Amino acid sequence: MRIIIIGGVAGGASAAAKARRTNEAADIIMFERGPFVSFANCGLPYYVGNTIADRNELLLQTPESFWNRFRVEVKVGHEVLRINRSQKHVKVKNLNTGAVFSEPYDKLILAPGAGAIVPPLSGIHAKNIFTVKTVPDSDAIKSFITEHLTKQAVVVGGGFIGLETAEALMNLKLDVTVVEMANQILLPFDQDMAVLVSAHLREKGIHLIEGDGIRAFHEQDDLAYETELQSGQRLPMDLAILSIGVRPELKLAREAELQIGDAGGIVVNDHQQTSDPDIYAAGDAVEVRHLVTGKPTRIPLAGPANKQGRVAGANAAGGDLHFPGALGTAIVETMGIIAAKTGLSENDARAHGFDYFVSVTHPLDHTGYYPGAEQLHVKLTVEQKTGKLLGAQIIGEQGVDKRIDVIATALTAGLTVEDLEQLDLAYAPQFNSAKGPVIMAGFVAANTLRGEVQTITNEELQHRLTNNPNLQLLDVRNPSEFAEQHLPQAHLIPIDSLREHLHELDPQKETVVYCRVGLRGYLAARILLQHGFEQVYNLTGGILSYPLLSENKKTPNS
């Protein structure tokens, strides 16, 4: 059996190794058009910023190591030009010599990945405008900074790689501006969560422009010296990094007439088989079944790509593995703040037509009396009738990773928020609380599910305040908290004296109660409901993140 793999990195390299472990007798050849067969592309921003000092640490495998360990023949600098399905061979060009030749196959694995998007803007090809997709990209950035006086950098795009690169450039003592065309950074997140990150970045000294795109780069002597925005604003620059997104490499698949799906990727089944049973595909170019919606989507992340490659390699070599799908679990750290997401955001749930509610909590990452506790911001998306978890977003400075992984596991298992509140998780003061962040999020969401309290989101409250002049808004915090910051038209009655002041409120009016993070609001709602108030809502998550939706100026105090 002869297996040919097109593309290396995560999907292709994983496929090659698994194919060999599955079939010792197979003849396996991998073609990679770049100079490296397998490298840690997620580590590139950290190499740019000198967090990873040794470039060789990024090179996971070489052609020599692949041959020595797996007896896989790797040919870098070789581009596959065409797939001939009827004759079962590929046309290959040696990019170093220009020679073109054909190679036959019994099974073929496509792992072409995705390329960085470079829009056709004036000046976009100036020598000081870069992407961060490959090792040579990173080498070029580092060489330019070393050889030129570089003070001001513009990062185009506020996604994961863009924010990681912005931090890397800040580490190099550059003045950094991030430009995001959408009205928020981190588009997979809901705005009320993303705004926590943008406020933190501004506080740390990154200039952040949202809701404005790039019109052109102005250049002189092949170097861009200014970025012109669509608003007309102009930013002086010595260096620009494009991090606008990636586009799947579909040229070979289209020309071979393989099926391309509505989500814009190669269609595969759970064996990673394409519409041609002798051709498999894995990585950023394929469509993936989303484990919550059940619908095909594209999830260009290293985790799914590695698992898909493993399945494709095994099955191409005669095995029988399955890839069920993915949740899109992802995490990013920038300038000391961490943002993680799994499953569906509120925006996602709305777009897919789910009947859902959201629950927001702001617990500490471990017990408050133990030194070093930091606040987390947790948002759950929950199916309304069943309580089944649909997704989660978590923002914070520590402890984010293990909480998102717990919830991703719960999502995979199809658990409900009532299951979440009963999880038996490890507790010691320096690691967690007895009612830790995940369990607390389960408590709060389960209370809503069981009808113990009705909640209202920040967005819904702003809409109500605009359209219902008779809304009764009750602040149940302390007078000092109220004096520092409160919502317009709010009536202050501290929670501990609420029972003695119920006569000040109208039980016939729609009432929204709030506190700092939601707990005292929940207690107040329970009191009101048991004293004849019928339309009572607790502001989920409290006032903590509410002002950020409109002000977007500061990080909430912990």
Longest dimension (CA), the chain: 89
Report all structural domains of the chain as residue ranges with CATH numbers, in order of start.
2-114+247-316 (3.50.50.60), 129-185+196-244 (3.50.50.60), 336-449 (3.50.50.60), 454-549 (3.40.250.10)
| pLDDT given for residue 72 in this prediction | 97
**Number of Cβ atoms within 10 Å of the Cβ of 510:** 17
Could you list the active site residues? 42
Residues 483 and 42: their CA atoms lie apart, in Å, by: 46
The DSSP secondary structure of 341-407, one letter per residue, reads EEE--HHHHHHTT--EEEEEE--BSS-TTSTT--BEEEEEEEETTT-BEEEEEEEESSSHHHHHHHH
Give me the amino acid identity at 495: I
- Say if CB 494 and CB 476 are below 8 A apart: yes
How far apart CA 459 and CA 356 sit, in angstroms, is 15
Are 45 and 166 contacting, i.e. CB atoms less than 8 angstroms apart? no
Question: Quick one: which of 404, 407, 398 has its CA closest to 431?
Answer: 398
Q: How many CA atoms within 13 Å lie on the side-chain side of 100?
A: 5
User: In degrees to the nearest 10, what's the CA dihedral of 182, 188, 192, 195?
Assistant: -60
Q: Long-range CB contacts (< 8 A, 24+ apart) of 477-483?
A: 477/515, 477/516, 477/520, 477/543, 481/516
Cα gap 373→210, rounded to integer Å? 31
* The two three-digit tokens of residue 238, written as one number: 């010595």
Q: What is the 3-state secondary structure (H, E, C) of 171-215?
A: HCCCEEEEEECCCCCCCCCCHHHHHHHHHHHHHCCCEEEECCCEE
Q: Which residue has the tokens 């669509």?
A: 230
d(CA 413, CA 134): 36
Residue 53 in contact with residue 354, Cβ under 8 Å? no
Q: Would you state the pLDDT for residue 547?
A: 56
pLDDT above 90 covers what percent of the chain? 91
Q: Write out pLDDT tens, residues 25-43.
A: 999 999 999 998 888 888 9
Q: Give me the average pLDDT of each 10-residue run along the chain (558 residues).
A: 94 96 98 90 92 88 93 96 98 97 98 94 97 93 95 97 96 97 97 95 97 97 97 98 95 98 98 98 97 97 95 98 98 98 98 97 96 97 98 98 98 98 97 97 97 92 87 97 91 97 96 96 97 96 70 35
The three-state secondary structure class of 101 is strand
In this structure, are residues 252 and 259 in contact, taking their beta carbons and an 8 Å threshold?
no
